[in-house]
Structure 1
Amino acid sequence: MTDTDPRFRVLGARPGKIVAIHLAYASRADQRGRRPAAPSYFFKPSSSLAPSGADIVRPAGTELLAFEGEIALVIGEPARWVTPDAAWSHVASVTAANDFGLYDLRANDKGSNVRSKGGDGYTPLGPALIDAREVDPTALRLRTWVDGEIVQDDTAAGLIFSLAQIVADLSQHFTLETGDVILTGTPAGSSVVSPGQIVEVQVDAGDLTTGRLRTTVVQGDRPFDPAIGSLPAVDDTQRTEAWGSAEAAAAATGTGDRSATGRSADDAPVLAESPVPDARDAPPALSPELRAKLERVPVAALSGQLRKRGLNDVTIDGVHALTAGSRFVGTARTLRFLPHREDLFAARGGGYNAQKRAFDAVEEGEALVIEARGETGSGTLGDILAIRAHARGAAAIVTDGGVRDAEAVAAVGIPVFTAGPHPAVLGRRHVPWETDVAIGCGGTTVEPGDILVGDGDGVIVLPPAIAEEVVDAALVQEEEDAWIARQVASGHPVDGLFPMNAEWRARYESEGRN
């Protein structure tokens, strides 16, 4: 590429590197409920640059393309090991930037932002430069508009880390070279935009201005290829982070209410087959060999071994198999309901809500576990959702709430453990809230990926880290108990035999394992 490439027009040349900060404004940190003690960064490719007036493409099959208006710094004199007092002298110019991110890919990036923020056109820059020598770096003003409505308005004084500190900090780790670009973070107000919407960002320093950096969102028609790499996957956490708040995310995925940016939930594509973020890159907690062992061990035996290891609060109390003889082994996929409240149900109860997303996303061998707070005054699922889970290959459904269409659900053939049947619909007692988070079900905590085993005695939660150890010990104990049972059946009294004294232990060791 040459310097005439329109992507690099405002800079005059392709930058060697683009460095962006994760979280820098107090307003954004307060919005997200976490404030970093020190700045952290990621890189963006120079191929992501775009000029003012360019389009940004939202890929097919995605929904969470979010804008982030930012102040961009362009390095003049190379900087290495510079102090904060001297750092600003190494900045040549200031301009406006938009650090777009596709939150559908964010979880799979695990903080690197390579895919979620590295796409072509994801770093619009410009349209003009402001000479850094002519401005007070603490007085720069940043504003962002969506379809002409202002959504971000802050100044560099609102930064947790000053612009000079950011430059100095980066220079401790590598040389900032002439033409390098630093994206200095976004304030509160960042949110999701949809095809057809226009985002504008402007940086001002008194009478000096960059002018408005204008980007139009367009819909792409080419989806990601599942045979090549990671697919888009979203959950309630990513929706909340992308939209800026749980309330905005709820409005977007609820009944079609408009968000602050004007987007309707009807604009959002359905990602029915999305797996748990990160799970595909992690080793399986439940190998086929471990599953086979667990299928041989009763829940009572596992409970005894967990108790020996100090784990007593690992049973999901108050739930029973809807069909006698049901048994399952699976890894937890979680769904959380909150107590019913009319306004919240209006925002989050309709449309493609958390309940529907959970049943659409459960994977083969997973047990969908539902937190209903032990509230049995309505159903938490019915036959249609049970059929969906069964079609997805789910191992079981566990809910400490009710089940409606109980006979039809039982006929589906998937193991269901519930607090009991109830004919009422979800909205009588519950608001579907979020998925893939730690929940409380039947008085115990269940984390996504925990191993669950259920039988006629109930359901137990098995921490993956000790699952192999526990099941091996349980198998040994089961063998021993079976031998004791044979002795009792043949007429021996239980005194001294159960548990075994030294004499019976020696006898067992000599003949019981033969």
Structure 2
Amino acid sequence: MTYGIEQLGIETPGKIIAVHLNYPSRIAQRGRTPQFPSYFFKPASSLAPTGGTIERPAGTELLAFEGEIALVIGEPARWVSPEDGWKHVARVTAANDFGLYDLRAADKGSNVRNKGGDGFTPIGPVAIPTAGIGQDAWRVRTWVNGALVQDDTSDTLAFPFGQLVADLSQHMTLESGDVILTGTPAGSSVVVPGDVVEVEVDAPNAAGSPSTGRLVTTVAQGGTAFGDFGNTPAVNDTQRVEAWGDEAAHAAAVAAGKASPLSESPVSTSATDGSPLTDEIRALLDGVAVATVSAALRKRGYVDVFIDGVHPNHEGDTILGTAKTLRFIPFRPDLFKQHGGGFNAQKRAFDTVEAGEVLVVEARGIPSTGTVGDVLALRAQVRGAAGIVTDGGVRDFAAVQEFDIPVFSQGAHPSVLGRRHVPWETDVTIACGGAAVQPGDIVMGDRDGVIVIPPFLLEEVAREAAAQERADAWVAEQVAQGAPVDGLFPMNAEWRAKYEAETAGQGARA
């Protein structure tokens, strides 16, 4: 692999040292002003060249980029002064200091887990010689999907490059090829699978306006979750706001369906924490109708939780699982060229769906779209998915019907990908059939339709719905024996007393 520093005859740096806060714009965002620079190490195994891919691990949501100016040490430095520190920097290149906010709490400031992953430090592609260029002459810019999101210069830094070299040289020898990441300006934010991040460092006012060229990294969805034998991902509101940049940026991301809304308590995002669909809850819901669950949700103010217009591909199919989401956007030729080919969001979703998950697809409610075909449906079945729900159409419908996996859709349509849609992103909040669906929501379906249950309501709704099903079954028995429905459905006090007397001691559904 090449990172630009091979121009110095160095294949891999011995040390990668990163600065926490340095740009005033970023310091203002964080609301704390450091008196002196502080640092953390990144492993050499986190390095990646331009054109690479970074994986957002399964069960996480807050992978953030940080475009930075990277200093490459030339002549070793030990006990040098701030005035002489810059002389020990041989070259400058671009870097992207990726971090996973989901693991920040586990790191307690060390950044080992959240910033040390493979591919979490792309650098390059060209290292610019510093000869004749001052430490205040540099600019860093970052683009996400072609939009400029960071733009700042080194003459604004709280801690100039020479000071960083001098300070570090008090504690260790900076050797040739060591890399110092000098901090990121405002604009750092969260990226999701499918996003393309580009970082460029240049000296626009120096002779020849030298540039590193763009350091390009594509975000992909990882398929392996963290094991429960170590710290697992967990996020809270503070981390969400800091990861996105500020409250306004987070609110905009929520409105765009790219971020989870704020909650009042820490929320685990780890798939290893266990689904709320325990064996007990599944037993309670066994045989319970979606219509009964909808009544329990309505009592709690949830009336727009139906995925409208979808029907099962097999008569009698039911579905119950946790949501994994896939979002399509309207077709546009340039966007389809960028996002429609290769290992796109659609393929990533079907290739990473886990056992017990329901893949929920936002197809904008357009039935004339083939959002799922036989190969992808088979892939979901092989991976153990609990089902597929799409508010679009299904191609290869007859073949898909031959599979065991339940598929709820608007019906058959032969169109291929690229006619009406661009596969855009996975594992974000979506709108499917008029209902908001978040990753981890509970999806339940039967012949009446599909409903979405917020996880925190699952247990109480399941218990109430199971009890209501038992009561409804008893009422049906009375009607079958000739009882009138007046006073019986719903039960008045007299009928309620009779029901409770007859069913006392039966307990909850096993």
Same fold (TM over 0.5): yes
Provide the C-alpha distance between the structure 1 equivalents of 2:375 and 2:464, rounded to a whole number of angstroms.
Answer: 40
For residue 45 of structure 1, give the secondary structure of its aligned residue in structure 2: strand
Alignment of 1:1-20 (within 5 A): 18-20=17-19
**What letter corresponds to residue 36 of structure 1 in structure 2?**
Q
1:306 aligns with 2:297: yes
Which structure 1 residue ranges, 5 or more long, are not aligned? 1-9, 30-34, 51-55, 78-88, 146-150, 192-198, 218-223, 234-240, 242-276
Q: Which residue of 2 aligns with 1:462?
A: 453
Q: Deviations over 1:366-404 (max 9, x none)?
A: 000000111111211111111111111110000000111
- Evaluate the alpha carbon distance shift between residue 109 and residue 92 of structure 1 in structure 2; reply closer, same or farther with a 3 A threshold: farther
Provide the C-alpha distance between the structure 1 equivalents of 2:162 and 2:277, rounded to a whole number of angstroms.
Answer: 46
Q: Which residue of 2 aligns with 1:394?
A: 385
Alignment size in residue pairs: 402
Q: Which residue of 2 aligns with 1:93?
A: 85
Q: Which residue of 1 aligns with 2:53?
A: 63
Provide the C-alpha distance between the structure 2 equivalents of 1:153 and 1:227, rounded to a whole number of angstroms.
Answer: 35
Overall identity of the aligned pairs, in % = 43
**What letter corresponds to residue 444 of structure 2 in structure 1?**
V
What's the offset of the Cα at 1:288?
Answer: 3.0
Q: Which residue of 1 aligns with 2:41?
A: 45
Q: Deviations over 1:149-193 (max 9, x none)?
A: xx9985235x5xx4159999x9xxxx99944877222688999xx
Q: CA RMSD in A?
A: 5.3
C-alpha contact 2:48 2:122 (8 A) present in aligned 1: no
C-alpha contact 2:311 2:409 (8 A) present in aligned 1: yes
**What letter corresponds to residue 481 of structure 1 in structure 2?**
D
Query: Which of the residues 307, 312, 315 maps onto 1:321?
Result: 312
Query: Which of the residues 370, 373, 379 maps onto 2:370?
Result: 379
**What letter corresponds to residue 422 of structure 1 in structure 2?**
H
Q: Which residue of 2 aligns with 1:118?
A: 116
- Evaluate the alpha carbon distance shift between residue 38 and residue 420 of structure 1 in structure 2; reply closer, same or farther with a 3 A threshold: same
Q: Which residue of 2 aligns with 1:252?
A: none
Provide the C-alpha distance between the structure 2 equivalents of 1:289 and 1:98, rounded to a whole number of angstroms.
Answer: 56
User: How high is the TM-score relative to the length of structure 2?
Assistant: 0.63
What's the offset of the Cα at 1:456?
Answer: 0.8
Provide the C-alpha distance between the structure 2 equivalents of 1:342 and 1:127, rounded to a whole number of angstroms.
Answer: 37
Provide the C-alpha distance between the structure 2 equivalents of 1:114 and 1:38, rounded to a whole number of angstroms.
Answer: 24
Q: Deviations over 1:250-294 (max 9, x none)?
A: xxxxxxxxxxxxxxxxxxxxxxxxxxx953354433223323322
**What letter corresponds to residue 455 of structure 1 in structure 2?**
D
For residue 372 of structure 2, give the secondary structure of its aligned residue in structure 1: coil
Q: Which residue of 2 aligns with 1:185?
A: 184
- Evaluate the alpha carbon distance shift between residue 123 and residue 163 of structure 1 in structure 2; reply closer, same or farther with a 3 A threshold: farther
Which structure 2 residue ranges, 5 or more long, are not aligned? 1-9, 56-64, 143-147, 173-179, 192-198, 217-222, 234-243, 245-267, 506-510
Provide the C-alpha distance between the structure 1 equivalents of 2:492 and 2:426, rounded to a whole number of angstroms.
Answer: 50
Provide the C-alpha distance between the structure 2 equivalents of 1:330 and 1:355, rounded to a whole number of angstroms.
Answer: 19
**What letter corresponds to residue 141 of structure 1 in structure 2?**
W
For residue 431 of structure 1, give the secondary structure of its aligned residue in structure 2: strand
Provide the C-alpha distance between the structure 2 equivalents of 1:42 and 1:328, rounded to a whole number of angstroms.
Answer: 52
**What letter corresponds to residue 138 of structure 2 in structure 1?**
R
Query: Which of the residues 385, 389, 399 maps onto 1:408?
Result: 399
C-alpha contact 1:71 1:203 (8 A) present in aligned 2: no
**What letter corresponds to residue 163 of structure 1 in structure 2?**
A
For residue 373 of structure 1, give the secondary structure of its aligned residue in structure 2: coil
For residue 451 of structure 2, give the secondary structure of its aligned residue in structure 1: strand
Provide the C-alpha distance between the structure 1 equivalents of 2:45 and 2:384, rounded to a whole number of angstroms.
Answer: 43
1:444 aligns with 2:441: no
Q: Which residue of 2 aligns with 1:271?
A: none
**What letter corresponds to residue 449 of structure 1 in structure 2?**
G
Alignment of 1:109-188 (within 5 A): 109-110=103-104, 113-115=111-113, 117-118=115-116, 139-142=136-139, 154-157=152-155, 162-163=157-158, 178-179=170-171, 183-185=182-184
**What letter corresponds to residue 384 of structure 1 in structure 2?**
V
Provide the C-alpha distance between the structure 1 equivalents of 2:92 and 2:171, rounded to a whole number of angstroms.
Answer: 15
**What letter corresponds to residue 405 of structure 1 in structure 2?**
D
C-alpha contact 1:335 1:434 (8 A) present in aligned 2: yes
What's the offset of the Cα at 1:44?
Answer: 2.7
Q: Which residue of 1 aligns with 2:29?
A: 36
Query: Which of the residues 480, 487, 499 maps onto 1:508?
Result: 499
Provide the C-alpha distance between the structure 1 equivalents of 2:434 and 2:140, rounded to a whole number of angstroms.
Answer: 48
Q: Which residue of 2 aligns with 1:340?
A: 331
Provide the C-alpha distance between the structure 2 equivalents of 1:101 and 1:368, rounded to a whole number of angstroms.
Answer: 32
C-alpha contact 1:369 1:399 (8 A) present in aligned 2: yes
- Evaluate the alpha carbon distance shift between residue 388 and residue 110 of structure 1 in structure 2; reply closer, same or farther with a 3 A threshold: farther
1:353 aligns with 2:331: no
Provide the C-alpha distance between the structure 2 equivalents of 1:490 and 1:315, rounded to a whole number of angstroms.
Answer: 35
For residue 271 of structure 2, give the secondary structure of its aligned residue in structure 1: helix
- Evaluate the alpha carbon distance shift between residue 177 and residue 204 of structure 1 in structure 2; reply closer, same or farther with a 3 A threshold: farther
Provide the C-alpha distance between the structure 2 equivalents of 1:283 and 1:323, rounded to a whole number of angstroms.
Answer: 29
**What letter corresponds to residue 475 of structure 2 in structure 1?**
I
Q: Deviations over 1:307-362 (max 9, x none)?
A: 01110011101101111010111110111111122222222222221111111111
- Evaluate the alpha carbon distance shift between residue 110 and residue 327 of structure 1 in structure 2; reply closer, same or farther with a 3 A threshold: farther
Provide the C-alpha distance between the structure 2 equivalents of 1:363 and 1:225, rounded to a whole number of angstroms.
Answer: 10
Provide the C-alpha distance between the structure 1 equivalents of 2:159 and 2:226, rounded to a whole number of angstroms.
Answer: 45
- Evaluate the alpha carbon distance shift between residue 205 and residue 337 of structure 1 in structure 2; reply closer, same or farther with a 3 A threshold: closer
For residue 371 of structure 2, give the secondary structure of its aligned residue in structure 1: coil
Provide the C-alpha distance between the structure 2 equivalents of 1:92 and 1:205, rounded to a whole number of angstroms.
Answer: 23
- Evaluate the alpha carbon distance shift between residue 422 and residue 23 of structure 1 in structure 2; reply closer, same or farther with a 3 A threshold: farther
What's the offset of the Cα at 1:496?
Answer: 0.7
Q: Deviations over 1:93-147 (max 9, x none)?
A: 34566685585x84764586524643799598999999xxx98x8x4424699xx
- Evaluate the alpha carbon distance shift between residue 406 and residue 510 of structure 1 in structure 2; reply closer, same or farther with a 3 A threshold: same
Provide the C-alpha distance between the structure 2 equivalents of 1:364 and 1:465, rounded to a whole number of angstroms.
Answer: 21
C-alpha contact 1:67 1:98 (8 A) present in aligned 2: no
What's the offset of the Cα at 1:484?
Answer: 1.1
Provide the C-alpha distance between the structure 1 equivalents of 2:211 and 2:206, rounded to a whole number of angstroms.
Answer: 15
Q: Deviations over 1:1-31 (max 9, x none)?
A: xxxxxxxxx9xxx99x9553379586xx9xx
For residue 325 of structure 2, give the secondary structure of its aligned residue in structure 1: strand
C-alpha contact 2:67 2:97 (8 A) present in aligned 1: no
